A and B are shown apart, each in its own frame.
Chain A
Amino acid sequence: MATHALSPAAVAGYRGGLYEWLTTTDHKKIGILYVINSFLFFLIGGIFALLVRAELAAPGLQLFQNEHVYNESFTIHATVMIFLFIIPMLAGLGNFAVPLMIGAPDMAFPRINALSFWMLPLGGILLLMGFLTPGGAAAAGWTSYPPLAGNSPLASPGPGQDLWIASLVLIGTSSILGGINFLVTIFKMRAPGMTLFRMPIMVWTVLVTSILVVMATPVITSAIVMLYIDRNLGGSFFNPESGGIAVLYQNVFWFYSHPAVYVMVLPAMGVISEVLPVFSRKPLFGYKAFVFATAGIGALGFSVWAHHMFTTGAVFLPFFSLMTFLIAVPTGVKMFNWVFTMFRGQLTFSTPLLFAVGFLTMFLIGGINGAFSASVPVDFALHDTYWVVAHLHYVLFGGSAFGVFAGIYYWFPKMTGRMLDEGLGKVQFVLMFIGFNLTFFPMHILGVKGMPRRIADYASGAGWNDWNLVATIGGFLIGLSMLPFIWNVFVSLRNGKVAGNDPWEGNTLEWATTSPPPPYNFDRLPEIRSERPLFDARHGLVGHGEPEPGPALLEQPAPSGEVPAAPDDEAGVGEQTTTGEDLETKR
């Protein structure tokens, strides 16, 4: 990769002062803000998780005076983790990476992008403000089923639940605007030659995720708006006493929230699909199959929602069971493609790859135990027990969160120009991996043995004591694993190894520009003739045959005549690229 020095002005513009960061509309800075904000909320959500674990370490109420505080804790834990950590964190990585990966100068609507971001801390503050209100914060679980989330005396009378609703509407709107922004960016702002089927898989996953967001998030908005009307305006959507239907909420809620679980994992799968090829020195196995599987998951995702409602006695069981089973198939396709990407490769175990492998091994467990629940009779036994808690953490933490850390280690050099420390990274990984399995594996056992979820306490004779203690120890180990990470970030920001443009020998366009990139991302772009433009620039088009013309969705230019085909040697990228100015003057 030829190096071209970044002009001092560009660097200054990139670093910027506080004011610059607060008012920025640069997608890279917004992406970084997303990541920082989401990480802070991860710590907050994690602290609530640790409170929950501390309470459950042994039978008897020790930590909390009463169950209400416990219910608040896991409700806020889950709401924060899902809506303020995992979804925005993935959106943030996407925000940083997608325009770079498709060779765009920025997102399509930079100011709306900034707006989307700033709604998040606001929503988070609204949510947490619940603790200051008389009735306390929301305590009806992250699913907030009415009538419990209604306002009758023993349900959720205080303003905490209303703040929960307001906060989720705000965060939802932020997601929708973000999703629209991603879609327009991906459809309209790809660099010349970047056909849809040359886009990095990360971009594909963000594309499908955004479609899910745009189609599903408004539906949860409608659900919680109806809940709000029931609570505050005398409505009776979900109140059976005045003609409402209690399970109606669940149908509407899960119509969103099942697709949403793919919102919570697809971009992480995208990260993995970037990391595995780079560190295996091989292309992603089965690129097209991967794209179709991603789209298939997105489509099937809308037809399985009632698998959360198997025990309500109000849904058509065989249909939802079948669809839920079927959704394992496209995910399986991805799993095998990932494994075969590593197969016969040359694996370098840098931290991003460690986390990626962590994702594979843990998500596999989470996915398979999800498929357990697709079998309705088995779900009758497992529903609302710790089995489900185990499932959701294996997919969300073992999957998505491992993917997030893989992404952070992978792109940190691009974001900051410096590498994170490998040693500390490995320490974090090992602690996190052990802690994670200690915490959540025993929950399978607890679930099968009949421990219901969302209970503040349990009888000491029920036989759940030991595994709960193990889980608590594991939970604190996960907490501990954050310390080397935080330390790593602070130390590496100052003293980390200087990254250079392309520390990992990456495949995708973001590695063609400087680290950090200039405000408009690229001074020059390599020619794009496959899904691995940088690899091609380094090694030539290996194993590709003639590049095929793109699909007819958007018109693409024919490979432009002015630019000679990429050479086979390592050196030439700099000389072989088309610059922005070139394009401008050609008009």
Chain B
Amino acid sequence: MVLLLIAVVAVVFLTGAGSALYPPAPATDQAREIASLYDIVFAIAVAIFVAVEGLIVWSIIRYRRKPTDTDLPPQTHGNNFVEVLWTLIPTVIVLYLFVISWQTLNNIEAVSVDPDVRVHAVAGQFQWQFEYLDANGQVLATQSVPVADQGGGMAVPVGRTVYVTLDSPDVIHAWYVPRFLFKRDVVPGQTNHFEFTLDPSEAGQTYRGQCAELCGTGHRVMLFDVLALSQADFDAWLAALIEKSNATPPPLPSGATTLTLSAENIAYDTLELEVPADTPFAIQFANNDPPGVPHDADIRETDNTTVVQDQPTIDGGTSTTYTYDPLPAGTYTFICSVHPIPAMTGTLTVR
């Protein structure tokens, strides 16, 4: 019975699951290095597993006690030769694994002196932002929509070196793209970095990315996408982003009420707002949290989920004027879509 089970596990391990245990197709030069290292590690691991598990299974099949076994089996207390043998062989194996791992590590950690693209990724609870920098580290444009579904994503050109720096204003997050076979923590107070180069054949692909370090209630919604574009597409994309960043907001209709609202320490300064019914209005919104902590002020029904009017988030340390369309009288909720917690959920009375 037991033997059967172990055999089944072994078979699953070797056949069906064996291929399932292979990582997704690597997309970057670095990922390819990791994948080929994984191949070797995996092969050695399977070999060790089969050898040792085989020995165990064979021993328990072969050496069951038979009714005829009344005398004691030979009382072997040990054997120094085999002890040395099974100390040395694994040592050699792990030293080999260490050396090849180290080599791969050096390759994937290498960064170029003058990378082609520089991206500064800022991960805050619970949102990603990608700043495109010029060679001097000045921000050219900010991509604050992280996922492709919403027309966003972190676009990068294929075949070019992309140098990413990582920062967090709040807790620890991690930048993880499964098809890059890579992740790196985003640690507050410490700027991490890494570099990657996409294979030219990858142009047009989108890769799913996700925060991989528990960062609170919204951990699982910290999704992002990486878009692989040809150089020409990328240039156009970046130019459009720069233009959008520089665009001025539309003027406020005349006669509109303007309120002020600010956010600091992940809390609004007030949770009660009042506006006249059926007139457009505006909120001068200041985000006084540190850069990387985005906020907004959306209007929802009081059930907190039905969105009435959506506003884009703004980064910490900036302010903006949100304009809203007229609302019928009643009570609504104004809420930060990034931080739907009580301290950022207020009541908007329209009368």
A contacts B: CB pair < 8 Å: yes
Q: A348-B65, A369-B45 are in contact. Are A147 and B90 (CB under 8 A)?
A: no
Q: In the bound complex, do residue A333 and residue B187 qualify as a contact, i.e. CB atoms below 8 Å apart?
A: no
Q: Is B2's CB under 8 angstroms from A321's CB?
A: no
User: CA of A283 to CA of B74 in the docked complex: distance in angstroms?
Assistant: 9
Known contacts A314-B187, A372-B41, A380-B183; decide if A152 and B170 are in contact (CB<8 Å).
yes
A247 and B187 contact, CB distance less than 8 A: yes
Decide: A322 near B53, CB < 8 A? Known: A245-B189, A377-B104: no
Q: Does B185 lie within 8 Å of A325, measured CB to CB?
A: no
User: B40-78 CB contact bits vs A (8 Å, 1 = yes)?
Assistant: 011001001100110111011001111001001111111
**Complex contacts, A339 vs chain B, CB 8 Å:** 52, 55-56, 59
Contact of B41 among A147, A287, A375, A462 (CB under 8 A): A375
**Residue among B49, B87, B179 having the largest count of chain A Cβ atoms under 10 Å:** B87
Q: How far is the CA of A477 from the CA of B210 in the complex (A)?
A: 31
Known A381-B23, A384-B176, A455-B219; contact A153-B183, beta-carbon cutoff 8 A: no
Chain B contact-residue range equals: 35 or more
Given the known A-B contacts A67-B218, A384-B176, A433-B5, are A289 and B94 also in contact in the complex, defined by CB atoms under 8 Å? Answer: no
Q: Is the pair B72, A377 in contact by a Cβ cutoff of 8 Å?
A: no
A329 touches B94 (CB 8 A): yes
Residues of chain A within 8 A (CB-CB) of B326 are: none
Partner of A364, one of B42, B53, B69: B53
Find chain A residues with CB under 8 A from B137 CB.
none
Q: Given contacts A145-B172, A344-B74, A381-B34, is CB(A67)–CB(B220) below 8 Å?
A: yes
Residue of A nearest to B36 (CB): A377
Does B105 lie within 8 Å of A377, measured CB to CB? Answer: yes
Which of B23, B72, B219 is the one whose CB lies under 8 Å from A542? B72
Which listed segment binds B: A101-109, A170-178, A440-448, A571-579?
A: A440-448
List chain B residues, Cβ under 8 A from A453: 214
> Is B102 an interface position by the 8 A CB rule?
yes
Among B41, B45, B101, B193: residue with most chain A CB under 10 A: B101
CB–CB B34/A321 < 8 A: no
- Check: A437 CB closer than 8 A to any chain B CB: yes
Instruction: Give the contacting residue for B266; candidates A154, A361, A364; CB below 8 A.
Output: A154
Task: Select B210's contact among A343, A349, A448, A452, beta carbons within 8 Å.
Answer: A452
Identify which of B14-22, B151-159, B317-325 touches chain A: B14-22
B173-185: CB near A (< 8 Å → 1, else 0) gives 0101011011111
Q: Contact: A287 with B77, CB < 8 Å?
A: yes
Question: Across the interface, do A147 and B95 meet the contact criterion of CB distance under 8 Å?
Answer: no
* Residues 3-43 of chain B, each 1 if its beta carbon lies under 8 Å from chain A, else 0: 00110010011000100111110000000011001100110
Asked if B287 lies at the interface with its beta carbon under 8 angstroms from chain A, I say no
Nearest residue, chain A, Cβ from B68: A346
Contact A155:B216 (CB < 8 A) given known A311-B185, A329-B90, A333-B86 = yes
Which residues of A418-472 are within 8 A (CB) of B? 429-430, 433-434, 437, 441, 444-445, 448-450, 452-458, 462
Q: How far is the CA of A539 from the CA of B17 in the complex (A)?
A: 48
Q: Does B133 contact A (CB under 8 A)?
A: no
A-B contacts, CB under 8 A, total:
297
Asked if A556 is at the interface of the complex by the 8 Å CB criterion, the answer is no
| CB-defined contacts of A313 to chain B, threshold 8 Å | 184-185, 187, 190, 192-193
Q: Are A240 and B189 in contact (CB under 8 A)?
A: yes
B305 to nearest A CB, angstroms?
A: 12
Q: A214 CB to closest chain B CB, in angstroms?
A: 28
Does residue A357 face the partner (Cβ distance < 8 Å to B)? yes
Q: Is B218 a contact partner of A285 (Cβ separation < 8 A)?
A: no
Known: A441-B9, A450-B24. A381 touches B182 (CB 8 A): yes
Closest CB pairs A-B (n = 10): A240-B189, A450-B178, A346-B65, A455-B220, A325-B94, A286-B78, A313-B192, A381-B181, A375-B101, A543-B75
Given contacts A241-B188, A344-B73, A361-B53, 18 further A-B contacts (CB under 8 A): A145-B213, A153-B265, A240-B188, A283-B76, A332-B86, A337-B83, A346-B66, A347-B59, A364-B52, A364-B53, A369-B45, A378-B101, A384-B176, A429-B2, A441-B9, A448-B22, A455-B220, A543-B77
26 A-B residue pairings within 8 Å (CB atoms): A71-B214, A152-B170, A152-B265, A240-B188, A246-B188, A285-B78, A286-B83, A287-B78, A313-B187, A321-B101, A333-B83, A342-B59, A348-B65, A371-B97, A377-B33, A380-B183, A380-B184, A381-B34, A381-B38, A381-B178, A381-B181, A384-B174, A449-B20, A452-B212, A455-B219, A543-B74
